[in-house]
Amino acid sequence: MTQLDERDSVESTEQAVSAASRGSAAYRANPYPVYARLRESAPVCPLSPPHGVETYLITRYDDAKAALTDPRISKDMYAAIDAYHTIFGDSSIALDDNMLFSDPPKHTRLRRIVNSAFSPRRIESLRPRIQQITNQLLDSCGTHAPIDLLSTFAFPLPLIVICELIGIPEHERQEVQKLCSVVARTGFSKEDKDKLALAEGALRDYFAELIDRKRRSASDDLLGALIRTQDEQGAMTDGELLSTLWVLLFAGHKTTAYLIGNAVFNLLTHRDQLREVLADQELLPNAIEEIIRFEGSVENATFRHALEDVTIRDTTIPKGALVQVAVASANRDPEKFTAPDTFDVRRSGLQSSHLGFGSGPHYCLGAPLARMEMRIALTTLFEKFPHIDLAVAAHEAEWLKVPFPAFRGLERLPVVLDPSQILGD
């Protein structure tokens, strides 16, 4: 490489990192060219994120998959307590004492307990109710004017499902959802952290009261099952139980909601692929996997940190530094996927290869539920409204405006469910 080429490569990398760090509208609309440049010139890239903690971004598939299972790269943020306080603040600790932010043997213990209550049998039993909720939500949508499919359908569906699964009463869900939204969208300024602390305090109080209520009155929901397991085995502390509720609720609806939105958007902007799915419903499960690979709702895996110096390729991540795995980049890596920027519902070998649900010990516990919700939601939506279309041009879609986010999703999804009714007015 010539000296000029080297300078161009450095500048390209710096521009890519700068675009991502700023979270500009152009970057949010299409981050994939940035990731492509990083995979090529800086696959393990040091960042200067707004929280101020030294961070490295991993962008290639093989490196990402290895990092997700590397015991030298820890999920236990308590072990990096200074970094934890800097990023999340003291108020977050009580909500993060769960399997998501832990390593073995604690992670193994907590996941085993939750897995027993989150059984395939329990999930499968939800199918009729998920279908009923889907029908009710879509039947209540107006067809005479454009609607936001996210707020009217994609978000309510998984939120209702996870609340019913956990055992959160209907009249309490709206307030819980508001508090969750504050936590999901809060930045790193002092004002944001103050708002975060208030929301997290309210959530802690709510979950503690809900657990007490369920303990005094036995129930058949997931929380009741977790309480019985706790009482019988003493295997989960009250703090762990409270925090587990939080992670199930938060992860159980945000990721699926954005995934439904991303699915509808990409099918409507790839009409040839939508026609294939509508002509052959057996393609839908594979189409869902391709959506998760092509535009999944998890852009970056949750924070990890290096327990020791870790060298990946020619870059050493120093002990104590944070590690972010760019799932969205790994799932577009041409070394793993042929023509990765092409949306192909017939792409083979997806379920065992994409990293949309993670990999290794922290593989998403709710993946079967998310897949079920996706299949029911998309099947029913396109059956009821076969002529659904975007109400805005694709380039006008508004994507989440946060730098290096955990989520990849739309701010809103304006659609016309039945264009003939709009034209007839």
Q: Is the pLDDT of residue 7 over 80?
A: no
Q: Is the pLDDT of residue 124 over 70?
A: yes
Tell me the pTM.
0.90
Please give, one letter per residue, the 3-state secondary structure of the chain.
CCHHHHHHHHHHHHHHHHHHHHCCHHHHHCCHHHHHHHHHHCCEEEECCCCCCCEEEECCHHHHHHHHHCCCEECCHHHHHHHHHHHHCHHHHHHCCCHHHCCCCHHHHHHHHHHHHCCHHHHHHCHHHHHHHHHHHHHCCCCCCCEEHHHHHHCHHHHHHHHHHHCCCHHHHHHHHHHHHHHHHCCCCHHHHHHHHHHHHHHHHHHHHHHHHHHHCCCCCHHHHHHHHHHHHCCCCHHHHHHHHHHHHHHHHHHHHHHHHHHHHHHHCCHHHHHHHHHCHHHHHHHHHHHHHHHCCECCCCCEEECCCEEECCEEECCCCEEEECHHHHCCCCCCCCCCCCCCCCCCCCCCCCCCCCCHHHCCCCHHHHHHHHHHHHHHHHHHCCCCEECCCHHHCCECCCCCCCECCECCCEEECCHHHHHHC
Domain 3-424 falls in which CATH fold? Cytochrome p450 (1.10.630)
* All structural domains of the chain with their residue ranges: 3-424
Q: Convert the pLDDT of each residue in 199-226 to its tens digit.
A: 888 888 999 999 999 988 878 888 888 8
Q: Which residue has the higher pLDDT, 373 or 222?
A: 373
Q: Is the pLDDT of residue 40 over 70?
A: yes
Q: Convert the pLDDT of each residue in 63-82 to its tens digit.
A: 999 999 999 999 987 777 66
Q: Which residue has the higher pLDDT, 332 or 219?
A: 332
| Residue 356: pLDDT band with limits 50, 70, 90 | very high
Question: What is the pLDDT, as a whole number, of residue 15?
Answer: 61
